[in-house]
Chains A and B, each alone.
Chain A
Amino acid sequence: DTGVSQDPRHKITKRGQNVTFRCDPISEHNRLYWYRQTLGQGPEFLTYFQNEAQLEKSRLLSDRFSAERPKGSFSTLEIQRTEQGDSAMYLCASSLNSDLWGYTFGSGTRLTVV
């Protein structure tokens, strides 16, 4: 296992379309996090899972956003009816319980809404 994997690396979509991103965490990590990062800013927390349970969602996670982790392994983040303001880098991170030292980020999915 070489780290947190995210797919696709880049996605261009037309406004109004739905998009889905995938994150594969480090295999032994039971916690998985989603962040959004806009240009020139630091990552902003969206949501996190412990195993398959979604334990926290930030105010940034509007009704158009949904995240799942059905088997407690990989996770998907879906954005419905995309808007230009959704253009950002979507980062996934994973950790083993609350082991913050092992908190590892993936390389992200760059979304561009045109």
Chain B
Amino acid sequence: GESVGLHLPTLSVQEGDNSIINCAYSNSASDYFIWYKQESGKGPQFIIDIRSNMDKRQGQRVTVLLNKTVKHLSLQIAATQPGDSAVYFCAETPYGQNFVFGPGTRLSVLP
């Protein structure tokens, strides 16, 4: 079936460096994408979203890039902080109802 996946299961970065988390999706009908952050014992928390008619969107310290040609999504976190340590998921929805999630990338911020 169609699914969302991630290239890297784990990512370790030095505090203060920038982080880039990648995601590949396969459903060309998807028109809305979200990056979620999930800390241990908590539900997914919204970070940033992007619609398929955009290729870049910026938030506070985060940027999402969408490349529809190669069906690729990335999350960039600037000046990574210890509080950014968590598992990050990209999720897509082609029909505006339920989301399809990838397996996640664990981000570990080193002091």
- Select from chain B the residue with minimum beta-carbon distance to A97: B96
Q: Are A40 and B98 in contact (CB under 8 A)?
A: no
With a CB–CB cut-off of 8 A, which chain A residues contact B41? 107, 110
- Select from chain B the residue with minimum beta-carbon distance to A106: B43
Q: Mark A36-55, 1 if CB is under 8 A from B, else 0.
A: 00001111110010000000
Asked if A25 CB lies within 8 Å of chain B CBs, one says no
Q: Are A41 and B103 in contact (CB under 8 A)?
A: yes
With a CB–CB cut-off of 8 A, which chain A residues contact B96? 98, 100
Asked if A67 CB lies within 8 Å of chain B CBs, one says no
Chain A: minimal CB distance from B98 (Å): 4
With a CB–CB cut-off of 8 A, which chain B residues contact A4? 43
Q: Are B43 and A98 in contact (CB under 8 A)?
A: no
Asked if B44 CB lies within 8 Å of chain A CBs, one says yes
Identify which of residues 89-104 in chain A touch chain B, using a CB-to-CB cut-off of 8 Å: 91, 93, 98, 100-101, 103-104
A40/B44 contact (C-beta < 8 A), A98-B97, A100-B34, A100-B49 known:
no
With an 8 Å Cβ cutoff, the count of chain A residues facing the other chain is 24
- Select from chain A the residue with minimum beta-carbon distance to B93: A100
The docked-state distance in angstroms from the alpha carbon of A61 to that of B46 is 25
Q: Are A56 and B97 in contact (CB under 8 A)?
A: yes
Which of A4, A45, A91, A110 neighbours the largest number of chain B CB atoms within 10 Å of its CB? A45
A105/B45 contact (C-beta < 8 A), A40-B104, A42-B101, A56-B97 known:
yes
Asked if A33 CB lies within 8 Å of chain B CBs, one says yes
Q: Are A108 and B43 in contact (CB under 8 A)?
A: yes
A40/B43 contact (C-beta < 8 A), A98-B96, A98-B97, A100-B96 known:
no
- Checking B42, B91, B97 against A42 with a beta-carbon cut-off of 8 angstroms, the contacting residue is B91
Q: Are A45 and B100 in contact (CB under 8 A)?
A: yes
- Select from chain A the residue with minimum beta-carbon distance to B96: A98
Interface residues of A (CB under 8 A from B): 4, 33, 35, 40-45, 48, 56, 58, 91, 93, 98, 100-101, 103-108, 110
* Given A40-B104, A58-B98, A98-B96, 11 other A-B residues pairs in contact with their CB atoms under 8 A: A4-B43, A43-B44, A43-B101, A44-B101, A56-B97, A98-B97, A100-B32, A101-B46, A105-B36, A107-B41, A107-B42
